[in-house]
Structure 1
Amino acid sequence: MIFDTLWIDISIIASIIAICILAYKAKALTLLGAVFAFFLTVGLYISGGIPFLATLLGFFISSSFFTKLRAKEKEELEKALYEKGGNRDHIQVLANGGAAFIIAAAYFLMPVKQLLVAYFVAIAACNADSWASEIGIMSRSTPFSIINFKPVQRGISGGVTFLGLFASACGALFIAGIYTIFMFVRIPFLELIRDCTIIVIFGFVGAVIDSALGELFQPAYVDSKGKLTEQRATGRVQNKMVKGFEFFGNDMVNFISSLMAAGLAYCILAFLY
């Protein structure tokens, strides 16, 4: 029995290594990003087993798919606006998986239902934001501010479209679907519906928080041509910061929003259970 369990663990870790290598080869992750992803994924597997692992992989594979979808059309816009491209580095790995890792570690020490669902909410928030960003940017409608609903420049943080909001809800629903697969025969049906509802709602809320934080605190700059960008410099020319805080970049926004969404869900669950 012990030998069988050990063999399963070795097989899963070997699979994680293979996936990280493939992600690096496919330019979904940088080399250091792949290394960090390996250790984070192994940590999540140790904390919560296959359900935690499958949820993270579901997020990574689906978000990577939408990142590559119509990539050529998004490439020029991303080059003009963003510091980083589609291949995620180690900071982005920690930003997207850090909150989930913290919750998973807490669940390992105290395996209660509230933390289990909160973990799925943290991933759902990241997935909702990723789907919204990658699909919403392809919308033909003019983006509007999540704060004051006024039109904003396409691709700038804080701007949303109805397509992006719909994609965000679908991204959270996707993670709720993974939760359903693992919990369908383990808990009563009404409890399952309640948990999935919380995952979808607070996953979506996490993406909305992400947009709001991006609008309020994330830095934006004006380049020498007077165009708004999120790049600190264009070539060797330093751009002028017109809003936000230098240290409050997109990675911090991603981490805080997913942690806030999971925290809110945990508080609701603590009241319900």
Structure 2
Amino acid sequence: MDEEIQGSLKDAHWTKAIPRARDWRQSGWLVWVMVPLLVLGGAWSGLSAVAAGSVRSLLFPVVFSVGFAGLVWMLRSATLPAAGVGLLVCLISALVVVRVPIGSGVFARPALSALITLFVLTFAATRFGRRRKEARGLAEARSGRRASQVVANLGVAALCAAMGRYSVGWYGGCLAALAEATADTVSSEVGQALGGPTWLITKLRRVQAGRDGGVSLAGSLSGVVGAGLVVLVGSRGFASWTDAGVVFAAACAGLVFDSVLGATVEEWGWVGNDLVNFLSTLFAAGLAWLWL
């Protein structure tokens, strides 16, 4: 009986259009499908790195990834399972080395550099105006992101990174997915913190800040800048700035696609936020892969 009462109270605080049970099922399936693929991607990347060099080539990626995941967990930016998923993503990204290395460590790994930039920008944006967002019920949980959120935002980028050593298109897809995920989080967090006029992207009518599919000038500009910084940092993996421009355009298109999904299928209660984020990064990565 007590469990039923607690469940009812939780549902009373649920503000999404999608039923809570359906949202959990979608997020759960996303984790169950993507995590094994990430494990395979990490194993494949590791074996490829060893085949191209030696076992010692795994030392930096493994040590750095474990340390980075531990830091993220200690900062309470992610739960322990989410930090474990982040470790896989970081490991795969760290194993992608540009053909003509610039320096060593992080500096020879543009995908890893882009991932770190994403973390710094989203960490700052999440904490920007936190008290105001908490007062309005829009702040992220203090326990940090869940595993499904990490998979939704970074899973596509990691799988593209695992294939990144084979063509510029795959690396471009990785970077576009990272840039789109950054733009989405930064635009949402900054827009909610600053408030101001917010419009529903499909109907161009005023809505409350934090509404699915709602966009604001401050949030959108912040997101575009965030995407640009990620692409700039990761551009060492390209032979020309034209490729970087294509990736940046794909990331911005993914940000728009995310808002459109939020205003339609998410608002209709068909899909949850995790699936929307996953599809948006997939869309951005697909555009970059096709153009490159």
TM-score between the two structures when normalised by the length of structure 2: 0.72
1:142 matched to 2:197:
yes
Query: Which letter does structure 2 place at the counterpart of 1:76?
Result: A
Percent of residue pairs bearing the same amino acid type: 26
TM superposition shift of 1:85: 5.8
Q: Distance in 1 between matches of 2:72 and 2:138?
A: 24
Correspondence for 1:255: 278
Alignment of 1:74-89 (within 5 A): 74-77=133-136, 80=137, 87-89=144-146
Aligned residue for 1:138, secondary structure, equals helix
- The aligned residue for residue 53 of structure 1 is 112
Secondary structure of the corresponding residue to residue 87 of structure 1:
coil
Match status 1:244 vs 2:260: no
Which secondary structure state, in structure 2, belongs to the residue aligned with residue 144 of structure 1? strand
Deviation at 1:216, TM superposition (A): 0.5
Structure 1 stretches of at least 4 aligned residues deviating more than 4 Å after TM superposition:
4-8, 81-86
Matches within 5 A, 1:111-130: 111-130=166-185
Q: Is the 8 A contact 1:172 1:199 kept in 2?
A: no
Q: What one-letter code is carried by the residue in structure 1 that aligns with 2:207?
A: V
Aligned counterparts of 2:210 and 2:142: Cα–Cα separation in 1: 13
1:98 to 150, 155, 163: 155
What pairs up with 1:180-195 in 2 under 5 angstroms?
A: 180=235, 182-183=236-237, 187=239, 192-195=240-243
In structure 2, how many angstroms separate the alpha carbons of the residues matched to 1:118 and 1:48?
16
CA contact (8 A) 1:81 1:156 kept: no
CA distance in 2: counterparts of 1:14 and 1:177, whole angstroms? 26
Letter of the structure 2 residue corresponding to residue 67 of structure 1: T
Q: 1:127 to 1:99 in 2, by over 3 A?
A: same
1:107 is paired with a residue whose SS is coil
CA RMSD of aligned residues (A): 2.3
In 2, Cα distance between equivalents of 1:137 and 1:8: 43
Q: 261, 265, 270: which is aligned to 2:288?
A: 265
Structure 2 partner of 1:107: 164
Q: Is the 8 A contact 2:133 2:139 kept in 1?
A: no
Unpaired runs of 5+ in structure 2?
Answer: 1-49, 99-108
Distance (whole Å) between structure 1 residues aligned to residue 199 and residue 258 of structure 2: 15
Of residues 173, 192, 205 in structure 1, which corresponds to 2:228? 173
**Unpaired runs of at least 5, structure 1:** 220-242
> What displacement does 1:102 show?
2.4
> Partners in 2 of 1:35 and 1:122 — Cα distance?
20
Counterpart of 2:265, as a letter, is: F
Number of aligned residue pairs: give it.
231
The residue type equivalent to 1:38 in the other structure is L
Query: CA distance change for structure 1 residues 162 and 102 in 2, over 3 Å: closer, same or farther?
Result: same
User: For residues 83 and 218 of structure 1, what CA distance do their matches in structure 2 show?
Assistant: 19
How many angstroms apart in 1 are the aligned matches of 2:228 and 2:209? 25
1:43 equivalent to 2:102? Answer no
TM-score w.r.t. length of structure 1: 0.77
The whole-number CA distance in structure 1 between the counterparts of 2:150 and 2:190 is: 20
Contact 2:128 2:193 in 1 (8 A): no
String of CA shifts for 1:86-140, please: whole Å, max 9, x gaps.
Answer: 71111011001111122223335xx111222121111111111111011111234
- The aligned residue for residue 197 of structure 1 is 245
